[in-house]
Amino acid sequence: MTMSDPAEKVGTAVRVAVGISGAVAVIVGILILAWPAATAMIVTAIIAIYAVVAGLIYAGAGISARPRGGWARLGHIVLGLVFVVAGILAFLNLGRTTAWLAVFLGILVGIMWIVEGIVSLSTLTEDSSKGWTIFFAILAILAGIVLVTTPFWGVAFLWWLLGIFFVAIGIVQAIRALTLGSRR
């Protein structure tokens, strides 16, 4: 097969894409593990940038949407302004916004885990693996309680686990990229 073969080009492109995604995952994982607070601030800054850009788009859509009714236009403009103000406020104190976002996410995930544990207990009558369901429910409820009562520490732990996950997945992706298509 020559490099002009379309299948070979696609295979090379896939291998390069998998390799790049693996390298990016390893880099992100290392950044999270080495500089967790700074990396969290960068994520918060990206969210703030999104808010400002989305706000400008909403406001622009409201201003330029002549065929729409007045309330729809006004709603888009107000929504756009809310997004822009939220993004600017996030940038004015990125550290506090990052901490607030971490606590909010910790409480949110904690509540979801508690509810998931309770809902899994409600399936006991139909479940063939009652022991595992009870074990899962207790684990989910306890983990949820820990996150709700200590959201900042819980999210810090989850952030650390995410960093490890990114490094591990990135290494696996890089190995896949190196071995992809080697069975020929």
Q: What is the pLDDT of residues 49-108, one digit of tens each?
A: 999 999 999 999 888 877 767 888 899 999 999 999 999 999 999 999 999 999 999 999
Number of independent structural domains in the chain: 1
> Is it the case that residue 35 has pLDDT exceeding 60?
yes
The residue range of the domain holding 88 is: 6-179
Quick check: is 14 in a domain? Answer: yes
Q: How far apart are the first and last CA of the chain?
A: 11
Quick check: is 184 in a domain? Answer: no
**The pLDDT value given to residue 184:** 53
**The pLDDT value given to residue 177:** 87
Q: What distance in Å separates the CA atoms of residue 134 and residue 122, rounded to the nearest whole number?
A: 10
Retrieve residue 62's tokens.
């409201």
Q: What distance in Å separates the CA atoms of residue 152 and residue 42, rounded to the nearest whole number?
A: 17
Quick check: is 97 in a domain? Answer: yes
Quick check: is 155 in a domain? Answer: yes
Query: Given its phi and psi angles, is residue 35 left (phi above 0), alpha (psi -120 to 50 degrees) or beta?
Result: beta
Q: What distance in Å separates the CA atoms of residue 126 and residue 52, rounded to the nearest whole number?
A: 48
Quick check: is 85 in a domain? Answer: yes
Q: What does the pLDDT look like over 125-146, one tens digit per residue?
A: 887 888 999 999 999 999 999 9
**The pLDDT value given to residue 53:** 96
Predicted structure pTM score: 0.73
Residue 2: pLDDT band (50, 70, 90) is: low
Quick check: is 69 in a domain? Answer: yes
Q: What distance in Å separates the CA atoms of residue 112 and residue 127, rounded to the nearest whole number?
A: 21
